[in-house]
Structure 1
Amino acid sequence: MSTDYSDLQRRMEGAINAFKHDLASLRTGRASSNLLDPIHVQAYGSSMPLNQVATVSVPEPRMISVSVWDKSMVGAVDRAIRESNLGFNPIVDGTNLRIPLPELNEQRRKELVKIAHTYAENAKVATRHVRRDGMDALKKAEKDGDISQDDQRVQSDKVQKLTDDTISQIDSLLAGKEAEIMQV
């Protein structure tokens, strides 16, 4: 009996991937099509993700372009973007909406860094939960007599190393995002 390291590793990688997704939604002054991911549009009697009623592209570093497929949906898309609390002001041009990204001021940059730190902490907590599950399984296996005390110690060290590696990966992703946000 031994702990399933591939499962622990998969779950820790899941925490990292969720963290990467959270970071992608943070606005850094550079345009990204991911910035509009949280927006839902009231379309055809239901709430739909923006990417199901329009094509989102980034033609310039500080501009997002939204090309609405159905002409009758332009107003709803414009309204959804304005009401999203993301601070965007779309310019309507036929079935296209151009969204210029304003420069980030110092205060807003610091707020974004705080948000990034919150996301990082959430990812670390998720990682520690996975470690705890692994350690509990090892203790139970030793108690049940499935593994010796020495094996339990060796495997616990492996689980801890996996945790440390994951947390350092989260820290380096955070440092990169922080540098990107603070870059003027």
Structure 2
Amino acid sequence: MNEEIKFLLDATKESMDGAITHLEKAFMKIRAGKASPAMLSSVMVDYYGSPTPLSQVANVNTPDGRTISVQPWEKNMLQEIEKAIMNANLGFNPMNNGDFVIINVPPLTEERRRELAKQAKAEAEDAKVSIRTARQDANKEIRDLDASEDLQKNAEVDIQELTDKYTKKIDAFLVVKEAEIMKI
């Protein structure tokens, strides 16, 4: 196989892997009934003037399936952490007991479960769009290469196979996430 085509296939595969990785991160932020430290992964705390991820200024734990506890490494950060969680607009109401910030995760209603399932579908569709875009870019680059028509056709078939493989992966992730969200 032509060296340029092999490089192009590798780059396309890497781009598609990136779409899958992004989807996995997006799915981690969609809560599915029980408390998880990943729910607070997007929270940025004002740490002496610079925005810092919550995980770098505090220890985030889940003592049980309905509670998240945040223990700051510096006591004076309690109010900042509480404010950052409120500003992140995650729908949580943090409580400060002087040592920890405690968040009670309310159980999901049926309506909220459906909304989260829709959100998961939208994230999966975005990932599929990224994969199709990678396929289009690769096919365009193949047509621009100075290779024989047979090599170009074979490379396009390989790229389509990659696209199908990654689309199936996304569908499988979505089925698992929807089941997780809808499980009471």
Q: Please indicate, yes or no, whether the TM-score normalized by the shorter chain is above 0.5.
A: yes
* 1:1-184 mapped onto 2 (5 Å cutoff): 1=2, 2-3=4-5, 4=7, 5-141=9-145, 146-184=146-184
Q: CA RMSD in A?
A: 1.3
Deviations 1:108-159 (A, max 9, x none): 1111111111111111111111111111122112xxxx32222211111100
Structure 2: runs of 5+ lacking an equivalent: none
How high is the TM-score relative to the length of structure 1?
A: 0.92
- Name the count of aligned residue pairs: 180
Distance 2:49 2:152 in 1: 57
TM superposition outliers: structure 1 runs of 4+ over 4 Å: none
How high is the TM-score relative to the length of structure 2?
A: 0.92
Distance 2:20 2:31 in 1: 19
Distance 1:82 1:152 in 2: 54
SS of corresponding position for 1:56: strand
Deviations 1:21-63 (A, max 9, x none): 0000111111111100111122312322211211111221222
Distance 1:95 1:82 in 2: 18
Structure 1: runs of 5+ lacking an equivalent: none
